[in-house]
Amino acid sequence: MLHLLLAFENLNPMNWEVIKPALNFLWQGLLAIFVVIGLIILAVKLTAFCINKATEAKKRREEAQNAETPESDS
């Protein structure tokens, strides 16, 4: 128990040498979170774009196929 208390003896929130590694770790973690969120947003937008393009192409194919086949006169 005494060994554990001695390990935390140097921790002082007003000491810059103690705070600096924590802040360094904090900004790197936040940057990583924002990068991952940005990649997820990019993937969702790219997927939506591809789905819209595929839907438009399917409609054009169906319209072209309907234009090729003559409708029977009744």
Q: Give, for all 74 residues of the chain, the pLDDT tens digit.
A: 556 666 666 677 777 787 888 889 999 999 999 999 999 999 999 999 999 999 999 999 999 999 888 765 55
What local confidence, expressed as pLDDT, does residue 20 receive? Answer: 86
Distance of alpha carbon 34 from its chain centroid, rounded?
A: 8
Which pLDDT does position 59 carry in this prediction?
96
Global pTM exceeds 0.75: no
CB 18 within 8 A of CB 10: yes
Q: How far is CA 37 from the centre of its chain?
A: 3
